[in-house]
């Protein structure tokens, strides 16, 4: 048995269900200006070999969404404001902005997002207390002399014994009250079903040339047969986005 094998059928279904799950979950957060992500919005994707481990990722121009080895959505990482600028200039601009939230607000916002993402916050806090940190930087830093410390309008809300690798992390940009990152390393607190794709062996058994003949209706039926969580709407990719490595290999072949 080839543990690294991925059929085109499995790849299509996995991408469709990753899109569906992240749209379902992100839609609950009611972020300003957020709209559902389609296959055309995906600039890079990865699908893990399901016989080895479940998971994958989708990247758009301003965010990365990652599914861990259990197939659950485990992190969302959004582009930082002024991300086109060097870090020092970016922090200088941030430091001049007024935060709309403080530490208490950051905790309230973070726990509300976690509830919406089907995280059992009560169980999480029964195991580890939250720790709220306001980010800072040293604008006058020189070698051997960090200089003054300036607070940034960014707040990290963490749960876990290891602050560098917390079980759950929510990072918030204060001037807009929007997330910079939501990371759930410990998925035992998630109420979402693990394994976002069912019928794995059936999908892997479909020959690529056979799948290539399927129309969109037949492909959508495969997705509906394979989903684990329930959804009001399934997001089908118009095509199967290729990874950067696959694009490089195709370019070499041509």
Q: What is the pLDDT of residues 211-234, one digit of tens each?
A: 999 999 999 999 999 998 889 888
Helix intervals (H) in 130-215: 200-205, 208-212
- What band does 21 get if pLDDT is binned at 50, 70 and 90? very high
Distance between alpha carbon 130 and the CA centroid of its chain, in Å? Answer: 21
pLDDT of amino acid 163: 86
Distance set, CA 66 to CA 16, 21, 50, 55, 128 (Å): 14, 11, 15, 8, 24
pLDDT at 203 over 60: yes
Nearest residue to 91 via CA among 133, 135, 32:
135
Co-location of 83 and 179 in the same domain: yes
Co-location of 67 and 2 in the same domain: yes
Co-location of 163 and 108 in the same domain: yes
Within 8 A by CB and 6+ apart from 86, the residues are none
pLDDT of amino acid 253: 52
Residue 197 belongs to domain spanning: 1-72+192-254
pLDDT at 246 over 80: no
Question: What single-letter DSSP state applies at residue 39?
Answer: G
The total number of structural domains in the chain stands at 2
CA angle 228-232-238, nearest 5°? 80
- Cα(47)–Cα(198) distance, rounded to whole angstroms? 15
Co-location of 112 and 208 in the same domain: no
pLDDT digits (tens, 9 = 90+) for 38-66: 888 999 999 999 999 999 999 999 999 99
For the beta carbon of residue 238, count every other beta carbon within 10 angstroms. Answer: 9
Q: What percent of the chain is modeled with pLDDT above 70? A: 93
Co-location of 138 and 219 in the same domain: no
CATH number at 88 reads 3.10.450
Co-location of 90 and 177 in the same domain: yes
Co-location of 113 and 138 in the same domain: yes
pLDDT of amino acid 239: 66
pLDDT at 206 over 70: yes
Co-location of 171 and 215 in the same domain: no
Co-location of 100 and 164 in the same domain: yes
Co-location of 95 and 171 in the same domain: yes
- Cα(241)–Cα(203) distance, rounded to whole angstroms? 18
**Domain end among 136, 159, 183:** 183
For the beta carbon of residue 117, count every other beta carbon within 10 angstroms. Answer: 21
pLDDT at 250 over 70: no
Q: Determine which of 11-25, 200-214, 228-242 has the lowest per-residue pLDDT on average.
A: 228-242
- What band does 251 get if pLDDT is binned at 50, 70 and 90? very low
Co-location of 3 and 59 in the same domain: yes
Residue 19, token pair as written in the block: 């899109």
- Cα(182)–Cα(244) distance, rounded to whole angstroms? 25
Strand order in the sheet with 44-47: 44-47, 56-59, 63-67, 73-78, 178-184, 168-173, 150-159, 130-137
Question: What single-letter DSSP state applies at residue 162?
Answer: -
- What band does 142 get if pLDDT is binned at 50, 70 and 90? confident
pTM: 0.88
Co-location of 136 and 151 in the same domain: yes
pLDDT of amino acid 252: 52
Residue 211, token pair as written in the block: 């799948």
Residue 236, token pair as written in the block: 């089908």
């Amino acid at each position: 048995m080839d543990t690294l094998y991925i059929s085109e059928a499995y790849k299509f279904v996995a991408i469709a269900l990753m899109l569906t799950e992240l749209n379902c979950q992100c839609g609950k957060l009611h972020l300003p200006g957020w709209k559902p992500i389609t296959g055309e919005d995906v600039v890079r994707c990865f699908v893990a070999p399901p016989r080895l481990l479940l998971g994958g990722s989708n990247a758009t121009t301003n965010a990365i969404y990652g599914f861990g080895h259990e197939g659950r959505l485990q992190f969302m990482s959004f582009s930082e404001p002024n991300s086109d600028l060097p870090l020092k200039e970016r922090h200088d601009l941030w430091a001049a902005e007024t935060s709309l939230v403080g530490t208490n607000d950051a905790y309230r916002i973070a726990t509300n997002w976690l509830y919406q993402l089907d995280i059992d916050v009560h169980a999480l806090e029964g195991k580890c207390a939250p720790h709220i940190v306001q980010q800072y930087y040293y604008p006058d830093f020189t070698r051997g002399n960090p200089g003054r410390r300036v607070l940034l309008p960014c707040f990290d809300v963490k749960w876990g014994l290891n602050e560098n690798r917390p079980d759950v992390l929510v990072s918030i940009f204060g001037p807009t009250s929007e997330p910079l990152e939501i990371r759930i390393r410990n998925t035992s607190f998630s109420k979402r079903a693990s394994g976002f794709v069912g019928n794995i062996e059936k999908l892997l058994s479909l020959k690529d040339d056979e799948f290539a003949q399927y129309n969109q209706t037949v492909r959508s039926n495969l997705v509906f047969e394979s989903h684990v969580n329930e959804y009001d709407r399934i997001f089908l990719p118009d095509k199967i986005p290729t990874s950067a490595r696959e694009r490089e290999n195709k370019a070499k072949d041509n």
